[in-house]
């Protein structure tokens, strides 16, 4: 019979951002451990507040099933003598297992024959098993940062202060970090009872609710959203959408209530980017906009209380925000008294990286890279001039007070201060956008100039860090290089920027040449592999298949947009029957050539050495189409190029059916290899068809 299992780990306040992953781990791990222990359950339901992590499984088997077990002993060769009688080893094994040697049997395994015994094992009650595995489960949660607080050196994210563990209403007896599991939970720190006894999950949820704890994150989220909507109705304003903040406040409160506060109109003179950041970062408030899209002098705070009937909480929050806005206003006014050119000089004193030098040097490199990109993309003179200007000035905001205080506004403030100096859109907006995209949810720069400047910055970061041996490994990526590489590709793909990325990277390496400690060959070897992994991710997200990506990846690493065009063309033909011959043929050719490989490039085949009609035909097709394939590829008309390649399918099929490549006459044989290599090169000029996996 199934019993209901409920576990609550009562804890001092857990950082909000760590909770979702911890819950996932607990649910997955518990299901997995229970399978190992013959107690299969559905994935348990998980719930949490800042002060508790909760697992609920309604379907816990009451006990393990009785089961047959095989206990393996010594190999037969040791356990039996020549006459087949048991040796001392077998008797010893039997004694240890508590049986007579008569009970032993021969057990055949993959590794050979052993002596052993079959045994019926009685299933244990789930309660006993859980009492053993729960402490281990709880101790194994991989929090990003843990602490210890007791002499037993138990580690957890914050001190564990209470444990509720019941199965079918009965306490599961165990102790962890000095806390004994029981059947009691606890209410809201100020509005609820400190001890609440419960028998089952329904009662648990209800009693907590009565004590001002909404234990379900989904329910808390719904409460917050509903209350935000009613504040919107009251004010006629719209909340500034912020999903990350919403996700966070769900786990910052046990009983969330949304209150509305305001600030003085005069603060609306501070840029909206600053106001929103001040509200969200320090105070976790939602900003609001008026119907015309302008920011309203209003904010929403999610409190951990049932109400604010006296308005005391609102007054407090307003006072704190006012103090922060006074600071921001001070920075906004003060920062604009120093010109960006003056700040550029100060960058000489700000280190980018110890080996790679200061930010003044970095911005000079960015200017050089920007100029190079402007040329590649044939920018108009004003745009080119603007891009180079933007590159020179884009790091100056690092020495403003505003960015020292609100680092996430880097770039954005630079752009705003440049606008305040009266610099044109080609400069200020480019600076404004150049850190984007900061993450998967952040859009790439909108303007072409912003995209190009962002590329120079990310290129310089990647080449610089790889060039001094800072290569990300495993979970270690302190400089966020994976994000930088991903951003590089996202920008190229989003804007359709089709150019030779390798040339840009080479230029970056050249500008850094006196500082790099890694040789260029090694640098680009590591970097190419790293980039390929990021690019694969984007192609996969676009729905391309693994083998298709493999076919184009090597070339696409430095030509991501071109790679995508080739992939799009390949998708159209991969089901076409004729191409199955091309895939097979290219695999065969590569195998043959690999065996015969001696590193040299073969010369062109000699028509006079052809013996068979099929050879001549294949050669004729290659001669006829080589130019057409090359022409179509050069013009990036990839559908057309594949149309030409398709014409090889019959000649190669016939060739492999009728012609023996390994002819006894070495000259004939070599000529056939030359022919195959010629054909293979034509195929390869599009992609590596041998990578395709056929269904």
Partner 1 sequence: MLNLQEIIFRLQQFWSSRNCVIQQPYDVEMGAGTMHPETFLRVLGPEPYRVGYVMPSRRPADGRYGDNPNRVYKHLQFQVILKPSPDDVQDQYVQSLAALGIDLRQHDFRFEEDNWEAPTLGAWGVGWQVLLDGLEISQFTYFQQAGGLDLDPISCEITYGLERICTFIVGSDSIYDLPWQAGRSYGDIRYWEEVEFSRYNFEEADVAMLRQLFELYEKEASRLMERGLPLPAYDYCLRCSHTFNLLDARGAISVTQRVQIIGRVRKLACAIARLYVQKREELGFPFLAPAPAEETHHG
Q: Which two tokens stand for residue 480?
A: 């966020």
Nearer to partner 1, 358 or 685 (CB): 358
Rounded Cα distance between 554 and 684, Å, is: 11
Q: Which helix (H) or strand (E) holds 34?
A: helix 19-36
The stretch among 76-84, 346-354, 428-436, 683-691 that binds partner 1 (CB under 8 A) is 346-354
CA torsion through residues 60, 66, 68, 70, sign: positive
- 457 touches 487 (CB < 8 A): no
322 touching partner 1, by CB under 8 A: yes
Query: CB 509 → partner 1: shortest distance, Å?
Result: 24
- 33 touches 137 (CB < 8 A): yes
Give the number of residues in contact with partner 1, rule: CB under 8 A.
47
- 29 touches 41 (CB < 8 A): no
Query: CB 419 → partner 1: shortest distance, Å?
Result: 27
Phi-psi region of 529 (alpha: psi -120 to 50; beta: other; left: phi over 0): alpha
Positions in 245-264 near partner 1 (CB under 8 A): 252-253
88 touching partner 1, by CB under 8 A: no
Query: CB 15 → partner 1: shortest distance, Å?
Result: 4
Nearer to partner 1, 214 or 368 (CB): 214
Residues in the chain: 695
16 touching partner 1, by CB under 8 A: yes
Residues 42-81, mask of contacts with partner 1 (x by CB under 8 A): --------x-------------------------------
Query: Which residues sit opposite 56 in a β-bridge?
Result: 6, 45
The stretch among 150-158, 375-383, 555-563, 573-581 that binds partner 1 (CB under 8 A) is 150-158
Query: CB 360 → partner 1: shortest distance, Å?
Result: 12
Nearer to partner 1, 410 or 447 (CB): 410
636 touching partner 1, by CB under 8 A: no
Residues 156-185, mask of contacts with partner 1 (x by CB under 8 A): --xx-x----------------x-------
Query: CB 216 → partner 1: shortest distance, Å?
Result: 19
In the list 66, 148, 604, 665, the residue contacting partner 1 (rule: CB under 8 A) is 148
191 touching partner 1, by CB under 8 A: yes
Query: CB 314 → partner 1: shortest distance, Å?
Result: 8
Q: Which two tokens stand for residue 21?
A: 């992953």
612 touching partner 1, by CB under 8 A: no
Q: Which helix (H) or strand (E) holds 548?
A: helix 546-556
350 touching partner 1, by CB under 8 A: yes
Q: How far is CA 176 from the centre of its chain?
A: 34
The stretch among 213-221, 324-332, 388-396, 453-461 that binds partner 1 (CB under 8 A) is 324-332
Q: Which two tokens stand for residue 35?
A: 């399978």
317 touching partner 1, by CB under 8 A: yes
Query: CB 316 → partner 1: shortest distance, Å?
Result: 3
Rounded Cα distance between 393 and 367, Å, is: 9
In the list 112, 269, 349, 443, the residue contacting partner 1 (rule: CB under 8 A) is 349
In the list 211, 277, 298, 303, the residue contacting partner 1 (rule: CB under 8 A) is 303
- 427 touches 393 (CB < 8 A): yes
Rounded Cα distance between 305 and 320, Å, is: 18
Q: Which two tokens stand for residue 225?
A: 């959203």
315 touching partner 1, by CB under 8 A: yes
Query: CB 327 → partner 1: shortest distance, Å?
Result: 7
Distances (CA, A) of 449 to 413, 436, 483, 498, 560: 17, 12, 20, 15, 19
Q: Which ranges of 37-164 does DSSP label H, i.e. alpha helix?
A: 76-79, 88-97, 126-139
Helix/strand/coil for 168: coil
Q: Which two tokens stand for residue 433?
A: 């956008």
Rounded Cα distance between 488 and 458, Å, is: 7
DSSP letter string, 394-412: TTGGGGSHHHHH-GGGTTH
In the list 43, 88, 150, 624, the residue contacting partner 1 (rule: CB under 8 A) is 150
Binding site for partner 1 (CB under 8 A): 12-13, 15-16, 50, 145-151, 153, 158-159, 161, 178, 189-191, 252-253, 283, 301, 303-305, 308, 310, 312-313, 315-317, 319-323, 326-327, 330, 349-351, 354, 358
């Amino acid at each position: 019979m199934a019993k209901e299992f409920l576990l609550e780990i009562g804890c001092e306040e857990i950082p909000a951002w760590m909770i979702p992953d911890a819950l996932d781990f607990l649910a997955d791990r518990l299901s997995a451990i229970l399978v190992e222990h013959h107690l299969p359950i559905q994935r348990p339901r998980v719930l949490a507040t800042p002060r508790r992590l909760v697992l609920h499984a309604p379907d816990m088997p009451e006990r393990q099933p009785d089961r047959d077990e095989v206990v393996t002993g010594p190999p037969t060769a040791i356990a039996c003598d020549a006459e087949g009688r048991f040796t001392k080893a077998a008797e010893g094994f039997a004694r240890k297992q508590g049986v007579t040697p008569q009970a032993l049997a021969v057990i055949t395994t993959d590794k050979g024959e052993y002596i052993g015994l079959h045994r019926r094992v009685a299933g244990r009650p789930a309660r006993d098993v859980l009492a053993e595995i729960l402490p281990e489960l709880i101790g194994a949660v991989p929090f990003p940062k843990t602490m210890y607080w007791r002499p037993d050196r138990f580690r957890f994210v914050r001190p564990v202060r209470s444990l509720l563990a019941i199965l079918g209403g009965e306490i599961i007896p165990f102790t962890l970090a000095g806390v004994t599991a029981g059947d009691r939970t606890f209410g809201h720190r100020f509005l609820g009872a400190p001890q609440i006894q419960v028998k089952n999950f329904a009662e648990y949820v209800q009693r907590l609710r009565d004590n001002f704890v909404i234990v379900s994150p989904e329910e808390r989220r719904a409460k917050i959203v509903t209350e935000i909507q009613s504040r919107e109705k009251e004010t006629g304003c719209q909340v500034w959408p912020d999903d990350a903040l919403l996700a966070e406040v769900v786990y910052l409160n046990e009983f969330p209530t949304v209150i509305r506060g305001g600030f003085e109109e005069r603060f609306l003179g501070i840029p909206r980017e600053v106001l929103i950041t001040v509200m969200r970062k320090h105070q976790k408030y939602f900003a609001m906009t008026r119907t015309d899209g302008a920011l309203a002098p209003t904010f929403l705070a999610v409190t951990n209380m049932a109400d604010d009937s006296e308005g005391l909480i609102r007054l407090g929050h307003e006072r704190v925000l006012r103090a922060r806005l006074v600071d921001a206003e001070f920075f906004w006014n003060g920062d604009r008294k120093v010109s960006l050119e003056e700040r550029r000089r100060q960058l000489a004193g700000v280190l980018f990286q110890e080996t790679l030098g200061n930010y003044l040097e970095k911005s000079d490199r960015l200017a050089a890279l920007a100029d190079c990109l402007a040329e590649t993309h044939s920018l108009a003179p004003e745009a080119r001039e603007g891009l180079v200007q933007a590159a020179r000035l884009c790091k100056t905001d690092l020495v403003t007070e505003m960015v020292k205080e609100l680092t996430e506004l880097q770039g954005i403030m630079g752009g705003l201060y440049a606008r305040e100096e009266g610099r044109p859109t080609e400069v200020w907006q480019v600076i404004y956008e150049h850190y984007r995209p900061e993450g998967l949810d952040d859009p790439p720069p909108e303007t072409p100039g912003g995209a190009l400047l962002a590329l120079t910055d990310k290129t310089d970061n990647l080449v610089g860090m790889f060039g001094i041996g800072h290569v990300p490994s495993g979970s270690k990526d302190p400089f966020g290089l994976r994000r930088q590489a991903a951003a590089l590709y996202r920008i190229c793909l989003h804007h359709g920027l089709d150019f030779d990325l390798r040339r840009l990277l080479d230029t970056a390496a050249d500008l850094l040449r006196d500082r790099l400690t890694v040789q260029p060959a090694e640098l680009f070897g590591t970097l190419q592999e790293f980039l390929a992994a990021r690019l694969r991710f984007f192609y996969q997200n676009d729905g391309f298949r693994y083998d298709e990506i493999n076919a184009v990846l090597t070339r696409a690493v430095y030509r991501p947009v071109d790679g995508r065009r080739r992939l799009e063309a390949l998708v159209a033909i991969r089901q076409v029957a004729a191409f199955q011959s091309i895939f097979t043929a290219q695999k065969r050719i590569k195998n043959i050539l690999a065996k015969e490989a001696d590193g040299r490039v073969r010369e062109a085949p000699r028509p006079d050495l052809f013996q068979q009609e099929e050879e001549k035909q294949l050669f004729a097709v290659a001669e006829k189409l080589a130019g057409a394939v090359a022409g179509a590829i050069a013009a990036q008309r990839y559908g057309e190029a594949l149309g030409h390649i398709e014409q090889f399918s019959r000649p190669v099929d016939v060739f492999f059916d009728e012609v023996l490549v390994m002819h006894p006459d070495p000259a004939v044989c070599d000529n056939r290899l030359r022919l195959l290599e010629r054909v293979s090169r034509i195929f390869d000029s599009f992609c590596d068809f041998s990578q395709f996996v056929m269904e």
